[in-house]
Amino acid sequence: MARNLSGKKALVTGAGGGIGQAIVESLKAHGVTVAGTDQSACPNSDVSIVGNLMDAAFCDGLAGNAREQLGGLDIVINNAGIIRRGPVTDATDDDYASSFTINVEAPFRICRAAIPLLAEAGGGAIVNIASCWGVHPGPNHPIYCMSKAAVASMTQCLGHDHAHQGVRINAVCPNEVDTSMLRSGFSARGKDPDTAIASLNASVPLGHIAEPQEIADVVLFLASDEARYMCGSLVEVNGGKAVY
């Protein structure tokens, strides 16, 4: 069980998505007050901050905004992300720009703003959501893999650079997770989501792809004092399944 989270204040990006909702609910269940941000209201959060992570100014001010509305800030979860699939020869400029803006630039800006605030408060935790695909690139997802590799590398760099300030920065690296984003990707490619996920389940040694809660549990661990000696770690959560 995650320790010493009661009374903490947390910011969660992508709080309206499948993994984001599970993270918010898990934090709240452990006594954390949560500011959730997404492009529409996040009713499961204590404070909902609506905005677009494509907006640099919004990202720059997000940690401070959350701290002001929550009355403090101890935890930041950079969960929001998008996937653009297909070989690089099919990729558009927008695929590249939107992926790197949301997956890389937004957490970069949020970390840059949040680290001084957390340090000033005596320390805190940042958990980024990278991906197994950013650590072990798979086929036909070059932009996604590149962007998540950048998140992984950023996490390792910042984890080292800011540990002395009491700011622990780590990342969770999931493989496939049963979310609406994954299902919509199958639908867009003309596949039945239930059939496709059943096929994926059969490829996982533990017997199923991750449920959002199984990712949220690891996020909660990294945000808590249970992970107090972890800095710059990339924690793969994959059910035993390699990317290939």
**Residues 35-93 pLDDT 10s:** 999 999 999 999 999 999 999 999 999 999 999 999 999 999 999 999 999 999 999 99
Q: Going by C-beta distance under 8 Å and a sequence separation of 6 or more, which residues neighbour residue 42? A: 15, 16, 20, 24, 36, 48, 49
Asked whether 137 and 243 are in contact (CB, 8 A), the reply is yes
Residue 30's nearest CA partner among 11, 5, 9, 1 is 5
pLDDT for 2: 64
Given a cut of 70, the residues of the chain with pLDDT beneath it are: 1-3
Rounded to whole angstroms, the Cα distance separating 243 from 132 reads: 7
pLDDT for 180: 79
Give the sheet arrangement for strand 75-78, strand by strand.
Answer: 47-50, 33-38, 9-13, 75-78, 124-129, 167-174, 234-237
Q: Going by C-beta distance under 8 Å and a sequence separation of 6 or more, which residues neighbour residue 231? A: 159, 160, 163, 168, 169, 170
Q: State how far Cα 63 lies from the chain centre.
A: 15
Q: Is 210 exposed, middle or buried (0-12, 13-18, 19+ CB in 10 A)?
A: buried
pLDDT for 1: 54
Q: Where in the chain are the domains?
A: 9-175+212-236, 176-209
Q: Is 173 helix (H, G, I), strand (E, B) or coil?
A: strand
Q: Is 77 helix (H, G, I), strand (E, B) or coil?
A: strand
Q: Which two tokens stand for residue 143?
A: 């932009």
Q: State how far Cα 59 lies from the chain centre.
A: 15
pLDDT for 70: 98
Q: Going by C-beta distance under 8 Å and a sequence separation of 6 or more, which residues neighbour residue 181? A: 17, 18, 82, 83
pLDDT for 14: 97
Q: Amino acid letter at 146?
A: M
Asked whether 123 and 165 are in contact (CB, 8 A), the reply is yes
Task: Please say whether the structural domain 9-175+212-236 has been given the CATH code 3.40.50.720.
Answer: yes
Give the catalytic positions in this structure: 144
pLDDT for 27: 98
Q: Which two tokens stand for residue 38?
A: 């997404």
pLDDT for 139: 93
Q: Which two tokens stand for residue 212?
A: 């959002």
Rounded to whole angstroms, the Cα distance separating 11 from 126 reads: 9
